[in-house]
Structure 1
Amino acid sequence: MSTIDDITGQIAPSAPEDQHGRGYDGHWALVWQKFRKHKLGVAGGIVVLLAYFVALVPEFLAPVTLESYMPAYSYAPPQPLHWGRDDGEGWRFAPHVNAYNSVIDYNSGRRLFEEDVEAPVYVGLFVRGESYRLLGLIESDIHLFGPIEAGQPFFIAGADRLGRDILSRTIYGTRISMTIGLVGVALSLVFGILIGGISGLFGGVVDNLIQRLIEFIQSVPSIPLWIGLAAAIPQSVPPLQVYFLITIILSVLGWTSLARVVRGRFLAMRNEDFVKAARLDGCGPVRIIFRHMLPSFLSHIIAVVSLAIPGMILAETALSYLGIGLRTPIVSWGVLLQEAQNVRTIAAAPWLLLPGGAVIVAVLALNFLGDGLRDAADPYSD
C-alpha cells in the first residue's frame, strides 16, 4: 500500500490562484500577458521601438548626410523607384531611379523636372557614400541604402529649396524630436513624482499650497506661455543649449498632470500599514515616496509617461514650426516643417510635409502604446 508521501509525490504542485481563479505568475508577468492581448498597443510599441532605433543611428539609415545638397535639384519631386530594367538583353532585376533633366517653364517661372530613362541611378543596400561618425564614435561610410555610385542624385522623397534630400533630413530629425519628448518627460516625471508625492504624503497646508500652484500653472494658456518663455532665449545662444533649454521649458510646464495622479494615489495609500511601518522605522519622506509607495503603482506611472511623450513631441514641433523653438542648424521635425509654412510652397512641393507625417505616426504609435499600457497596468480587471 502506498504511503501518503508516495501519493503526494505523484501530484504535481499547482500555482496559487487569485480571486478570479487565475494562476498567479507575478504582477509583471500578468501585466505582460494582458498587454500582449492589446493589438494596437503591441503595434504601437513596435513602431516606437523602430522610431528610437532610427533616432539612435540616423547616420547609417539616411542615404546622405545633412551637409549634402545639390542646388540644381531645388524642389525636385520624388524619384519613382523602379525594380528592374530592360537593357536590350531582357528584363533583369536592377533597383534604380532615373536621373532628372531640368527645364525652365518661362510662363510660370518654375523649374520642371523630367525623368531621363537613359540615365539610371542604381540603388543598393549597404552602399558606400559620405563618411560620418556612427554614435559620434565610429568612423564609417556605409549607408543602409542609397545610390551605388556616391554623388549621384537620389531623392526618393523629394528635395527642398536647397536641393537637400527630404527623406534623409526627416530621418535625422527623428533623433531630436523623439529624444526631446523622452528627456522632457523624464524631467517631468521627477518633478511630478516628487512634488505630487510630497503633496499626497503630507496633506494639509502643504497639499493646499501645492494644489493651488498646480491650478495656477494649468490655468495659464500653454501655447502663449511656451511662446513667451521660448522667445526669451537670446538668439546668440548656441543651438545645443537651445535644445536643452526648450527641453527644460517643456518639462517644467508638463509635470502638473502627473503630480495630480501621484497625489491621488498617495492620499489613498498614506494610511496603509506599510507606510506607517516605514515612518516608525525612521524613513524620511523621500525614501518613503521612492522606496515604498512608488513601486506599488509603477505600472500606472509607466502608462502615464507613455501618454505624456506625444504632448512633448507636439509642443516642440509647434514651437519650432513657429520659429521660436529649435532652429537651424539643429534638425527636428518642427524645424523641417518651417519649409512648408505657405500654401504656395505646399502646392508646388507637397513632399515637404513628410516630417508632418512622421509626427502623426509617432504620436499615434505612442498613444496606442500608452492605451495598451494603461489597460495592462491593472491586470486583474476584466
Structure 2
Amino acid sequence: MADGKTVTPTGRFAHGNETYAALVWRRFRRSTMGMIGLVLTVALILMAIFGDFFAPMDPKRAEIAFAPPDHVEFSAPDGSFSLVPFVYPIIETGEFDPVTFQPMTGPDKTNPTALGFFVPGHRYNLLGVIPANIHFFGSVDGRPIHFLGTDKFGRDILSRGIVGSQISLTIALVVVLLTTTIGTLVGIASGYVGGRVDAWVQRFVDLVLAFPQLPLYLALASLIPVTAPSPVFIAFVIGVMAVLGWAQLAREVRSKTLALARIEYVRAAVAVGSSDWRIILRHILPNVSSHLIVAVTIAIPSVVLLESFLGYLGFAVKPPLISWGLMLQDTGTFSVIGSYPWILSPVVFVLITVFAFNALGDGLRDAIDPY
C-alpha cells in the first residue's frame, strides 16, 4: 500500500478501488495478439449476426460454375486511372478446356462493373425480421461479382462463406455452452463430494475419454436418415459433439476444486455451517470461472475445426443450409483443387476463426493469471 494505491503483480501501482475486471482488462490491453484476437472475434460475431447484410451476392444464386475470382481494378479500359474501384465480370468465352471439357471463362474488358459500399442488392430479412436489400459492399449496378470465385453450381463462395458462419459459429457456441455446463457441474460435484462418488465419476470420465472419437462420429453419422430435416441433423451433430466433449473440462475443473476445497476460507465456511450449495456458488465457482473463460475461448476453435473436418468427410448440415463444413465437401477431389484452387477459400474463414479465438484465449489466460 502506498498513498491509497496497491502494488499489482506486474509491479505497477493501481488504485485501491480498482475492480478485478478492470485489472484484468488493463492487463489484457497490453497483449497485442490478445487485442487482435478480440477485434477479429467481434468482427466474426457481427459477420454471423448480419451475414446477409455483409454478403455481396445471394448465396443461393447460380451463375457460371467454377468462375475464377474477380480482380479489383483501378485502371479503366482506356488506360486511365479511376478513383472508383471496379471489376471486369467473368463471362464464358464460348471455348472449352481441352482437358476438363468445361466452358472456358474470362473477364469482359468492355463492360466494367463499379464497386461501392451500402449498395442495393438481393432482398433479405435483417435479423430474420426486417425486410431490406442494402448490402455493405458490392456492385453499384447490381451485376454479379465474385471476389472468391464460384463453386461447382456457380454460387458465390464469399457470400456462402459469410452466411455459412451463422451455422458454423452457432454449432460451436452451443456445443461449447453444453460442454462447459456439463463439465463444470460434473467436475465441481466430483471434486467437492470426493470419496467413492469421486472415484466412480472419474472412472466414467475415463471411459468417455477412451472413446476413439473420429470412428464414433462416422458410425453415428450412419444412424441419421438421408431424408432427415436439417434441424434434426444439426441437433444430432450438437448432441454428439457435446456428449463426447465435456469429459476433459470436467477433469480440469475437478482438479481445481480439489485444491480449492482445502483453502482456509472454504474450511471456515464449512465450520460455520454454510450449505454445500452456498460454498460451491460463493467460493468455488467464482475461483474456477477464470479457467472456464479461457477454456471456452480455446474450445470454440476446436469445435469449428471439428465441424469443418466432419463436413469434409460428409458429416455436415444438409442444403439449403450453409456451413463451412458443407462448403469443404467440394474440395474432396484432387482434380477439382488442381483445376480450381479458389474452391479452397472456405479454409480461410476457418483459419481466421481459429486464430481469433486462440489469440483471445491466450491473451485472457495471461491477463487472468495473477502471477
Pairwise mapping of residues 9-28 of structure 1 onto structure 2 (< 5 A)? Answer: 13-17=3-7, 22-24=12-14, 25-28=18-21
Distance 2:172 2:31 in 1: 24
1:60 aligns with 2:53: yes
Residue 368 of structure 1 aligns to a residue in which SS? helix
Residue 328 of structure 1 deviates from its aligned partner by 1.8
Partner in structure 2 of residue 93 of structure 1: 83
Letter of the 2:232 counterpart:
Q
Residue 209 of structure 1 deviates from its aligned partner by 0.9
Partner in structure 1 of residue 256 of structure 2: 265
Q: Is the CA contact (8 Å cut-off) linking 2:253 and 2:288 kept in structure 1?
A: no
Distance 1:41 1:20 in 2: 17
Aligned residue pairs, count: 365
Residue 108 of structure 2 aligns to a residue in which SS? strand
Pairwise mapping of residues 186-335 of structure 1 onto structure 2 (< 5 A)? Answer: 186-279=177-270, 284-335=275-326
Distance 1:353 1:99 in 2: 21
Q: Per-residue displacement from partner, 1:222-259 (whole Å, max 9, x unpaired)?
A: 11122222332232321022212211211121111111
Distance 2:215 2:3 in 1: 63
- What TM-score do you get using the length of structure 2 for normalisation? 0.92
Partner in structure 2 of residue 37 of structure 1: 30
Residue 330 of structure 1 deviates from its aligned partner by 1.7
Q: Per-residue displacement from partner, 1:285-335 (whole Å, max 9, x unpaired)?
A: 444333331112322210111111111111111112111232222211110
Residue 20 of structure 1 deviates from its aligned partner by 7.2
Q: Per-residue displacement from partner, 1:135-155 (whole Å, max 9, x unpaired)?
A: 1011100011111122x2311
Residue 69 of structure 1 deviates from its aligned partner by 1.6
Q: Is the CA contact (8 Å cut-off) linking 1:197 and 1:262 kept in structure 2?
A: yes
Distance 2:241 2:281 in 1: 24
Which of 97, 103, 107 is 1:111 aligned to? 103
Partner in structure 1 of residue 169 of structure 2: 178
Runs of 5+ unmatched residues, structure 2: none
Distance 1:360 1:21 in 2: 36
Residue 91 of structure 2 aligns to a residue in which SS? strand
Q: Per-residue displacement from partner, 1:328-347 (whole Å, max 9, x unpaired)?
A: 22211110010111111111
Letter of the 2:123 counterpart:
S
Letter of the 1:141 counterpart:
N
Q: Is the CA contact (8 Å cut-off) linking 1:126 and 1:142 kept in structure 2?
A: yes
Distance 1:305 1:236 in 2: 34
Letter of the 1:81 counterpart:
V
Larger Rg over CA atoms? 1
Letter of the 1:92 counterpart:
S
Distance 2:218 2:49 in 1: 29
1:51 aligns with 2:44: yes
Partner in structure 1 of residue 112 of structure 2: 120
Partner in structure 1 of residue 127 of structure 2: 135
Closer/same/farther in 2, CA of residues 96 and 28 from structure 1, 3 Å limit: same
Q: Which runs of 4+ in 1 moved over 6 A?
A: none
Which of 136, 140, 148 is 1:144 aligned to? 136
Letter of the 1:363 counterpart:
V
Distance 2:362 2:293 in 1: 11
Letter of the 1:60 counterpart:
F
Residue 280 of structure 1 deviates from its aligned partner by 5.7
Distance 1:106 1:21 in 2: 68
Distance 1:339 1:218 in 2: 32
Letter of the 1:206 counterpart:
V
Distance 2:155 2:276 in 1: 54
Partner in structure 2 of residue 5 of structure 1: none
Residue 117 of structure 1 aligns to a residue in which SS? coil
Q: Is the CA contact (8 Å cut-off) linking 1:75 and 1:159 kept in structure 2?
A: yes
Letter of the 2:54 counterpart:
L
Residue 22 of structure 1 deviates from its aligned partner by 4.1
Q: Per-residue displacement from partner, 1:67-92 (whole Å, max 9, x unpaired)?
A: 3222xx1111011111242559x543
Q: Is the CA contact (8 Å cut-off) linking 1:76 and 1:158 kept in structure 2?
A: yes
Residue 284 of structure 1 deviates from its aligned partner by 4.9
Distance 1:360 1:92 in 2: 34
Distance 2:310 2:121 in 1: 34
Residue 88 of structure 2 aligns to a residue in which SS? strand
Distance 1:139 1:219 in 2: 50
Q: Is the CA contact (8 Å cut-off) linking 2:77 and 2:110 kept in structure 1?
A: no
Distance 1:309 1:107 in 2: 45
Identity percentage of aligned residues: 37
Q: Quote the RMSD (CA, aligned, Å).
A: 2.1
Residue 163 of structure 1 deviates from its aligned partner by 1.0
Residue 5 of structure 2 aligns to a residue in which SS? coil
Residue 96 of structure 1 deviates from its aligned partner by 1.2
Letter of the 2:121 counterpart:
G
Residue 128 of structure 2 aligns to a residue in which SS? coil
Q: Per-residue displacement from partner, 1:82-141 (whole Å, max 9, x unpaired)?
A: 1242559x5432321112331222633122112121111222111111100011011100
Residue 150 of structure 2 aligns to a residue in which SS? coil
- What TM-score do you get using the length of structure 1 for normalisation? 0.89
Letter of the 1:300 counterpart:
H
Residue 208 of structure 1 deviates from its aligned partner by 0.8
Q: Per-residue displacement from partner, 1:27-50 (whole Å, max 9, x unpaired)?
A: 222222222222112211211111
Residue 103 of structure 2 aligns to a residue in which SS? strand
